[in-house]
């Protein structure tokens, strides 16, 4: 886009998945225990599993994608391969949002430009948290505006205090950033419901052009009720139809008039999602790779780059804590698949 041009459009509303980056299994060709190569076959298998389950688009190389462990050349190869896989399978309408996790404006813009060249339609830009305690709201505003001015594709602000040294981006700062024509939304990966409300329901934000996504599926129903558009959610990487079902039930019931039956169904779905999200909260990407491999046989339970290599520290004992919940969620996912309403 460059500079302050015409208003960019946000990504389509729906459930997105911050996909794990799959690395080669032990014993595979060119395996390196320190830095195993990408496993693009597993990546593609997972991507198609998601879009067939109703996922609107993919976030590649976010926090769950271990972006900080992936080299720039690999980033390009990863994004390009998944854009091609989606296109070849008839899913040209499912956008790819590329994550960036650089502290430097010029480096961030370079990553965005390369991501666009590889096939990404949007950029999700992590806040610069290295000097979080000394960073002012004005400084943050100018940093994001400088990135958005230079970005050739629309930008979403990624607010995840857990990986940015507890960097705080105030609702008032979001109100200012939402006025930038090339900033089209945010992913809020925190549970501060009052701040989420002050952004998603703010009368000082044009919500047709600035979308609020929760980064926490466990917050999906409450965030929808306050004006958020959907979720970019980790658990949906294992149970896409489950999370999509809650989103679609909310949207359908809102359109026709919400009944008590709808509310009961949505509460039940949210409860089940919250049960599964406890694994994501406890183990992050390590837990997601374990779950996806154990439940669906996609990828490797231990396929990661140091220091995350090795999966659960006490594999079977740890999985035993989650097995009953995840077996129940798999049963629900397969029930929804059989109904054929998603995908």
Q: What is the largest CA-CA distance in the chain?
A: 56
Q: How far is CA 297 from CA 37, 46, 268, 291, in A?
A: 19, 10, 27, 9
SS3 for 263? Answer: helix
Known active-site residue 187: yes
Determine whether 56 is an active site residue.
no
Alpha helices (H) along 89-192:
105-118, 137-150, 171-177
DSSP state of 131: T
Choosing from 16, 122, 158, 160, the catalytic residue is: 158
Choice among 160, 168, 176, 187 that is catalytic:
187
Please answer whether residues 211 and 184 qualify as being in contact, where contact means their C-beta atoms are separated by less than 8 angstroms: yes
Where in 192-256 does DSSP place strands (E)? 211-214, 230-231
> Distance between CA 24 and CA 36 in Å, rounded?
6
- Active-site residue list: 158, 187
């Amino acid at each position: 886009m460059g500079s302050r041009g015409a208003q960019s459009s946000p990504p389509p509303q729906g459930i997105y998945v911050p996909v794990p980056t799959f690395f080669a299994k032990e014993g595979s060709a060119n395996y390196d225990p320190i830095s195993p190569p990408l496993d693009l076959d597993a990546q593609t298998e997972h991507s198609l599993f998601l879009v067939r389950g109703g996922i609107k688009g993919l976030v590649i190389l976010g926090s769950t994608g271990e972006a900080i462990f992936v080299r720039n050349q690999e980033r390009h190869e990863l994004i390009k391969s998944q854009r091609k896989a989606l296109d070849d399978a008839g899913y040209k309408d499912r956008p790819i949002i590329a994550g960036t996790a650089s502290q430097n404006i010029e480096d961030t813009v370079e990553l965005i430009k390369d991501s666009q060249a590889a096939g990404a339609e949007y950029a999700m830009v992590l806040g610069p948290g290295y000097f979080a305690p000394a960073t002012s709201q004005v400084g943050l505003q100018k940093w994001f505006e400088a990135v958005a001015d230079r970005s050739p594709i629309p930008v979403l602000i990624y607010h995840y205090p857990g990986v940015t040294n507890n960097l705080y981006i105030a609702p008032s700062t979001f109100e200012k950033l939402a006025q930038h024509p090339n900033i089209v939304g945010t992913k809020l990966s925190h549970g501060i419901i009052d701040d989420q409300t002050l952004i998603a329901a703010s009368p000082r934000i044009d919500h047709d052009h600035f979308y609020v996504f929760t980064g926490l599926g466990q917050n999906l129903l409450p965030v929808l009720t306050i004006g958020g558009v959907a979720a970019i959610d980790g658990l949906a990487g294992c149970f896409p139809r489950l999370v999509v079902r809650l989103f679609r039930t909310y949207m359908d019931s809102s359109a026709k008039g919400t009944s008590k039956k709808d509310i009961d169904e949505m509460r039940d779905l949210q409860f089940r999602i919250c049960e599964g999200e406890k694994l994501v909260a406890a183990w992050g990407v390590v837990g997601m790779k374990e779950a996806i491999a154990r439940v669906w046989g996609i990828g490797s339970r231990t396929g990661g780059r140091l220091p995350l290599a090795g999966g659960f520290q006490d594999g079977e004992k740890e999985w035993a804590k989650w097995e009953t919940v995840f077996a129940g969620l798999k049963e629900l996912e397969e029930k929804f698949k059989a109904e054929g309403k998603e995908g």
